[in-house]
Structure 1
């Protein structure tokens, strides 16, 4: 069987992306090589789309972006007030931008092209399953791009793959992108609720879909849960629109089912260390950017409440207690404390040595916290019950990740094991006055969601912090930086946009600064 090359060419694609200073040999590698790859098909392209290195816990994404940068902006990782701590690593943010256009959008446009070229009505109807579910995944990634940058090229992006023509794509307003996504997710959800797939095409989907194993129920839950996330994200910008979408979903659970339990979490999970999806070595190397616990999360919230996630999220220090890195300590004080083994680190079994750590897409915990916020703000349901369930699902999920590491990951570092919390233990935790629902409810919801996102989903934590301004985080001024004395509100566009897509970039140039806000950031 020939190997499928899934990195589809997209240099000089719609967004005008072309890495400056590249050798010709490096550019050539990005192009589809007909002599070295098999003829593509919708199922193989679909599998390639799901193999996303910004979802899977791969080294480069963790080391250059998620752990040090997003973890700093969201304070979900143990960083300190070093020189220029808030300044963006523009080469690494460019990598994040490039990956979306040269990989995610490129692969999706190839699927569209092959689908549009089908001549059989049966194939059109059957492979629509692939097209619609692929759109859910792409919309998820696209919304994340808006969350990071604001306005982005989208509607006309990827024309090289679609038509063979190089078209420099214009920028879509972030709000327009969100509106398009929310409208189409509703359509896709209704389609998946009614479709009765032919067994042949259902079998093809099952064979190609290593995320949801072809389960239309899981795809429906992912679709609706993503719709819920994005509706809540715009809820302070356009409350009426958000409220209408959310109440439609929450008021029709049969038509719009959601991710309910941690067993239903949408993840890309390797079954063994032999899987191509395994995080072996990648996650270990990715955490070398920084593997220390965040100070506020650990010292001010989790330790005082005796959080049952503590022993599997972090390792105790030399004195068998938990301490994170205070964000306002300078580098000298932090370095001295590191030498004294004062700080806790992200747990090796659960995280840094976990060869079967899943790529997390969306979880039951997040969904429950979104429901709790909606009920708290607008009524219509039991906010406390949703909040309590969100905390429980977060606890159970991370304990499962830890357990899978010990059982499936061929884990050989350390022998200490902890007793998994029982329902009575979780109930006692939820009754702790520091955690219990009843006062400061929106802050408690946001705080528990922030803990649940942690460092692996720091990009979501940063988005939710900017949206809600909760939990209440303190960001010391970095006097060493003229350009970024405080955290940014958005990422800067890559320099290649100004040089290679200059006409379209001119439309967004005035907003290409760190103080401009993403459209939903209005609090």
Structure 2
């Protein structure tokens, strides 16, 4: 499905108007298309929510925002100094804002409305599985909006869907949204750990759920892993709350299981290139003509440490070496080096020509790195083991994606245990000194450019790894990377009263509430 770009006044956007515009071909063939239904049902709307073009590797999201903007702010994409390199592409950040309100939030509000219209106790009980698991995904996307903007309209957004009344939404504090999400995720996790659902409804869940295929265990692991991520994100702002919740989860793996194996990573995985989850060549177009490797990541860490992921992530240059673009070089020097085939590019077999590349939601490696940080800071487990497990899981996960040889690429094989052990002993990587920095660095490498939004959030939270951003003297508005996205101009125009309450903080120097280091 091509992304339909529509400019809509905020009074409709923030109210959460349901915008789908999808045909049957937009959904996995194995699952029912909600838009083909005569009447919207909880299951059909559920599939519609999970079909998310900011999770799937679509051209529009990758090319306009994820790679050139968040990839630059997190240094997970190769870039060089240029004219106004750090300034926000406000049309595209605005498009990201609109997608959440007109698609993600709107579709979830429709699920709530359909659920509230159910007339039997059996349906209320059975379809609660859909509502609660949908809420996990919805909360994940909502937290990402807070990470990008800070305070956002939330609790009163979507009234057109739920009540039929347009209400211009007020802004919720980002900290309050996080608190509510964390509290409710724990409630949902507790519910999923005890629910005994009727097979009639679990069978439907299996049919409509193309993220976890109806597995309640997988949804529990997603919910608990998401709690770990969000609790750790607030841990420098509110360490007491974060530590308590994280230790509750990690201290009772039976009640609160997390994603523990690379194969359990949460993702939207097309079954074949004929799947309607695939938009052929979108990922190629999303990476653009010159998808260069990032300089710091490759030249300072991966290449000197002989990282086993190098041939999985990138292509070698004509000398068989791996080099990214240094962000201190001017455009002329970069151009000359490009002509000389000096730079590595993101690998075609894994990334740019891989039409089966999944929509990554949550990886086991990230969970292990979260555990490693928790153990390093507060005890309760062996940080070194969790850290090294995360590195191995990262290699395993990306090898599982490295599966497209249609364009002449070569599928990589799993490096030997000895190779991985040697890598883990390299002083750049070896656990024992500067441990928090090494955990953050390996998580940053694991996120890569596909999850540059998470990499940017984690860098702002920890200020690790230590990244240098040369000042862009061509820009008055943003000579260095911003701390947050600016609100779309439509907010001031169509939601003026509520925008006035946040106007003074709508500057690039304002930090998201958890960014305190």
Sort the TM-score into its range (normalised by shorter chain): over 0.9
Q: Distance in 2 between matches of 1:29 and 1:469?
A: 38
- Superposed CA RMSD in Å reads 2.2
Q: Residues 12-51 of structure 1 correspond to what in structure 2 (within 5 A)?
A: 17=14, 38-51=38-51
Say how many residue pairs are matched: 504
- The structural deviation recorded for 1:201 is 0.3
Q: Distance in 2 between matches of 1:241 and 1:28?
A: 36
| Structure 1 contact 366–449 (Cα < 8 Å) conserved | yes
Q: 1:504 aligns with which of 498, 508, 517?
A: 498
Counterpart of 2:221 in structure 1 is 221
Counterpart of 2:376 in structure 1 is 376
Compared CA separation, residues 204 and 377, structure 1 to 2 (3 A): same
Compared CA separation, residues 107 and 13, structure 1 to 2 (3 A): farther
| Structure 1 contact 13–160 (Cα < 8 Å) conserved | no
Counterpart of 2:460 in structure 1 is 466
Counterpart of 1:405 in structure 2 is 404
Q: Distance in 2 between matches of 1:32 and 1:274?
A: 17
Counterpart of 1:449 in structure 2 is 443
Compared CA separation, residues 209 and 239, structure 1 to 2 (3 A): same
- The structural deviation recorded for 1:31 is 8.2
Q: TM-score, normalised by structure 1?
A: 0.93
> Gaps spanning 5+ residues in structure 2: where?
24-33
Counterpart of 1:327 in structure 2 is 327
Structure 1 window deviating more from structure 2 (155-164 vs 479-488): it is 155-164
Counterpart of 1:241 in structure 2 is 241
Counterpart of 2:296 in structure 1 is 296
| Structure 2 contact 18–107 (Cα < 8 Å) conserved | no
Q: TM-score, normalised by structure 2?
A: 0.94
Compared CA separation, residues 191 and 454, structure 1 to 2 (3 A): same
Q: Which runs of 4+ in 1 moved over 2 A?
A: 9-18, 27-38, 416-420
Q: 1:438 aligns with which of 425, 429, 432?
A: 432
> Gaps spanning 5+ residues in structure 1: where?
1-5, 19-26
Q: Distance in 1 between matches of 2:143 and 2:111?
A: 20
Q: Write the deviation string for residues 122-163 of structure 1: whole angstroms up to 9, x where unpaired.
A: 000000000000000000000000000000000111111111
Compared CA separation, residues 221 and 126, structure 1 to 2 (3 A): same
Q: Distance in 2 between matches of 1:35 and 1:15?
A: 21
Structure 1 window deviating more from structure 2 (332-341 vs 319-328): it is 332-341
- The structural deviation recorded for 1:166 is 1.1
Compared CA separation, residues 226 and 331, structure 1 to 2 (3 A): same
- The structural deviation recorded for 1:15 is 7.1
| Structure 2 contact 11–494 (Cα < 8 Å) conserved | no
Q: Residues 57-456 of structure 1 correspond to what in structure 2 (within 5 A)?
A: 57-288=57-288, 290-402=290-402, 404-406=403-405, 411-414=406-409, 416-456=410-450
Q: Distance in 2 between matches of 1:319 and 1:510?
A: 53
- The structural deviation recorded for 1:203 is 0.4
Counterpart of 2:30 in structure 1 is none
Q: Distance in 2 between matches of 1:276 and 1:40?
A: 21
Compared CA separation, residues 14 and 138, structure 1 to 2 (3 A): farther
* 3-state SS of paired residue (1:361): strand
Compared CA separation, residues 35 and 80, structure 1 to 2 (3 A): closer
Q: Distance in 1 between matches of 2:275 and 2:377?
A: 44
| Structure 1 contact 17–497 (Cα < 8 Å) conserved | no
Compared CA separation, residues 177 and 237, structure 1 to 2 (3 A): same
* 3-state SS of paired residue (1:273): coil
Counterpart of 1:493 in structure 2 is 487
Counterpart of 1:24 in structure 2 is none
- The structural deviation recorded for 1:32 is 11
Q: Distance in 2 between matches of 1:29 and 1:381?
A: 46
Q: Distance in 1 between matches of 2:22 and 2:345?
A: 42
Q: Distance in 1 between matches of 2:413 and 2:507?
A: 49
Q: Write the deviation string for residues 352-396 of structure 1: whole angstroms up to 9, x where unpaired.
A: 000100100001000000000000000111000000000000011
Q: Distance in 2 between matches of 1:328 and 1:10?
A: 37
Q: Distance in 2 between matches of 1:35 and 1:205?
A: 17
* 3-state SS of paired residue (2:156): coil
| Structure 1 contact 211–268 (Cα < 8 Å) conserved | yes
| Structure 2 contact 12–166 (Cα < 8 Å) conserved | no
Q: Distance in 2 between matches of 1:289 and 1:138?
A: 33
